[in-house]
Amino acid sequence: MAKTSENHQCMDDLKAERERCSFNKHEITTLLDGGEDKTKQRRKIEKVFLSDPEFLDATRPEYLSHEDRYANELRKACHMIRKFNEDEEIQQLVGQMDGIRTLMGSGLGVALTKDGNPLALHFIMFMPSIMGQGTVEQQGEWMGRAWSGEIIGTYAQTELGHGTFLRGLETTATYDPSTEEFVLHSPTITSTKWWPGGLGKTANYAVVMAQLYTRGRCHGPHPFIVQLRDEETHQSLPGVTLGEIGPRLGMNTNDNGFLCFSHHRIPRTHLLMKHSQVLQDGTYVRPANDKLAYGTMVFVRVAICFDTYRQLQRAVTIATRYSAIRRQSELVPGQPEPQILEYQTQQYKILPLIATVFGIHFAAQSVWQTYNDVTGSIHDGNLDLLPELHTLSCGLKALSSSDAANGVETCRLSCGGHGYLASSNLPRIYTTTTAAITYEGENTVMWLQVARYLIKSFREARQGHRLHHSVSYLTPRPASTHALQTNLSNAALVEAFRVAVSHLVGEVAARLQGQCDSGMVFEHAWNACSVQLARCAQVHIRYFTCEEFLSGVEKAEVSEATRGVLMRLCRLYLVFHIIGNQGDFLRSGALTPSDMTTLEEELATLLAALRPDAVSLVDSFDIHDRILDSTLGCWDGNVYERMFEEAKKSPLNQKDVPDAYYKYLRPLMKASL
């Protein structure tokens, strides 16, 4: 198609946006990647993978059958593993482990297997379970085979009847000392494993969570390595019933599956025994903490924060670039149509989401650091920080997934009708991101775990106990330090979050106590206060994120110009969330109505100040066009031409008159003749 003047205009618009950049884009790219070397590594891996024709799709996945879609993604996923195992360039550059992590953790992985990677659970949960739950011998036995792809695993925990309530799982693993085996059994329909990714058709092994019985006693859910399919024929083993659960909202090539056991026997040594053991005679050796068996979930919750951050990065890049090329309506009658990014309401949709990307980034880095510190100290036998890690990982998983899913939907809306097109990629980014609200611990349940820790800490503080870092603010302070802020500096706004959340926790703790004092049992009082409890948890994690955002920007090794734009984003994040939740700040006395007026005025100023840098900010995310995979968000802004090209590929457009016309429409239209 010939280039139209409209196309040139779009490309010139983006060029002009880029010329207005007030900061050093590369500094932000390397900051987000974790250093210059990491940026180079990522780009190199992207180049190696994106230049490989095996990763190209012959057609859009939407045009394929369910089975062909699965086969297409499986083809690419297997090629990915082969490439890691065989490509010397990658081996030399980063090594297999770092390579897989970069691939999965960066946008590249999701771009190569667009519709959901059937091997994702193998890397994200199966192997981490063996590493985190298995003894050194068990790691030696399984990890090499798993790395090479000789065995493919998944994580089978959720059942038809129970996902959230792990203690309610019904699958049993009963130890038989006479043969030194566990007998796995699904006693009811509700005990059928349901949902695990890759379970339907891909995996031949799984880490299965089952209630461990030995010597007639149940010791709760434990992880077992279970072979599900024959290693030669791939047929399901006797005693194992397997299948796929059918189409989902998104991620349809993850072949989420079902699984039931009929007295299926596995060796005793297939219980992952790093934390608890069953000896040959059936003696159960307790772990240092029952919840260590839940360790893989803690790891994945942290990993999800990084994934949701990447998804939001992609969506906001698409929405920002599109908003800079899309012209609509008249701001001033008779004047040329402005870029839609000129509208303050559009800026209000998009700029806080760019800020959110950075907020999640800094908070996730901090939780990742805590994860590494705590797993290190667990290794040395110190479990003191486990509750803190559990709380932060639950909380940030919930905050990042809900912020990202809402944010992606806002991005879609901000692109008007075209955002609804599959070729914008926003629908797929949305269906992938919103799943993270549910999997790995449904968000409300996660918030209530955070609230449990807050209330417990609040009570302990009143008994004079020392609190862990993230909740130390709940320690009662002398009255003078509660004085209202006299300025609205960044530090003062973060402090306002502290006051607001302390107040909320204090209020709900008093309500809980009041209900217990009036004779309600604690669990019912808890349920009766749980809307407010979840709210406390949300404000607590928002406060944590604000603190990490601010200190991350202060500590960043960047030029003053770059720090300037990051500070404006951080400020926008603080102001945006305070205005959006002003009730919490007014009720607690953290801020006054007049402060709110000042902040609302500042919000408008911040939007205007950040607007010229919007395109450059998303450019600094450094997302390759193939990874963005969007007609609306491409680097060059050549949107309309791309949309037209994509439309022409529809199978319906291969014939002027489709067969269905002759079959259905024509008989109807000609019926009266």
Ligand X SMILES: CCCCCCCCCCCCCCCCCCCCCC(=O)SCCNC(=O)CCNC(=O)[C@H](O)C(C)(C)COP(=O)(O)OP(=O)(O)OC[C@H]1O[C@@H](n2cnc3c(N)ncnc32)[C@H](O)[C@@H]1OP(=O)(O)O
Ligand Y SMILES: Cc1cc2nc3c(=O)[nH]c(=O)nc-3n(C[C@H](O)[C@H](O)[C@H](O)COP(=O)(O)OP(=O)(O)OC[C@H]3O[C@@H](n4cnc5c(N)ncnc54)[C@H](O)[C@@H]3O)c2cc1C
Q: Name residues whose C-beta falls within 8 Å of residue 588's C-beta, 6 or more positions apart in sequence.
A: 499, 500, 502, 503, 504
**Burial, 281: exposed, middle or buried (Cβ in 10 Å; 0-12, 13-18, 19+)?**
exposed
256 binds, among ligand X, ligand Y, none (CB under 5 to 8 A by kind): ligand Y
307 binds, among ligand X, ligand Y, none (CB under 5 to 8 A by kind): ligand X
Q: Cα–chain-centroid distance for residue 447?
A: 15
Where are the extended beta strands (E) located within 131-204? Answer: 153-156, 172-176, 181-185, 193-194
Q: Which residues would be at the binding site for ligand Y (CB under 6 A)?
A: 121, 155-158, 162-164, 195-197, 251, 256, 435, 438-442, 444-445, 448
**Please, which residue, 394 or 426, has the CB nearer to ligand X?**
394
Which one of the spans 22-30, 292-300, 344-352, 623-631 is the region binding ligand X (CB under 6 A)?
292-300
Q: What are phi and psi of 242, to 5 degrees?
A: -135, 150
Is residue 440 part of the annotated active site? The answer reads yes
Taking alpha carbons only, the member of 87, 98, 92 closest to residue 49 is: 87
User: Binding residue per annotation — 197?
Assistant: yes
Distance CA 312, CA 573 (A): 15
User: From the CB of 530, what's the least distance to ligand X, in Å?
Assistant: 13
The size of the interface with ligand X (CB under 6 A), counted in residues, is 38
Residue 421 bridge partners (DSSP): none
Site mask for ligand X (CB under 6 A), range 439-478, x = bound: xxx---x---x--x---x----------------------
The correct pick among 275, 390, 498, 568 for binding ligand X (CB under 6 A) is: 390
**Please, which residue, 212 or 355, has the CB nearer to ligand Y?**
212
User: From the CB of 212, what's the least distance to ligand X, in Å?
Assistant: 14
Site mask for ligand X (CB under 6 A), range 70-109, x = bound: ------------------------------xx--xx----
Q: Under a CB-based contact definition with an 8 Å cutoff, are residues 55 and 76 in contact?
A: yes
**Burial, 581: exposed, middle or buried (Cβ in 10 Å; 0-12, 13-18, 19+)?**
middle
Distance CA 456, CA 37 (A): 43
Region of 30 (left: φ > 0; alpha: ψ -120 to 50; beta: rest) is: alpha
Taking alpha carbons only, the member of 422, 421, 412, 314 closest to residue 60 is: 422
User: Binding residue per annotation — 135?
Assistant: no
**Please, which residue, 129 or 616, has the CB nearer to ligand X?**
129
Site mask for ligand X (CB under 6 A), range 157-176, x = bound: xx----xxxxx---------
Distance CA 619, CA 625 (A): 11
Q: Which residue is nearest to ligand Y (CB)?
A: 163
DSSP code of residue 666 = H
598 binds, among ligand X, ligand Y, none (CB under 5 to 8 A by kind): none
Q: Name residues whose C-beta falls within 8 Å of residue 609's C-beta, 6 or more positions apart in sequence.
A: 568
The correct pick among 32, 90, 108, 120 for binding ligand X (CB under 6 A) is: 120
Catalytic residue among 170, 440, 495, 641: 440
**Please, which residue, 134 or 441, has the CB nearer to ligand Y?**
441
User: From the CB of 303, what's the least distance to ligand Y, in Å?
Assistant: 13
Reading the block at residue 111, the tokens are 């771009």
Catalytic residues: 440
> Residues marked as binding for FAD?
158, 197
**Rule CB under 6 A: which residues touch ligand X?**
100-101, 104-105, 120, 123-124, 127-128, 131, 155, 157-158, 163-167, 197, 291, 294, 297-298, 300, 303-304, 306-307, 386-387, 390, 439-441, 445, 449, 452, 456
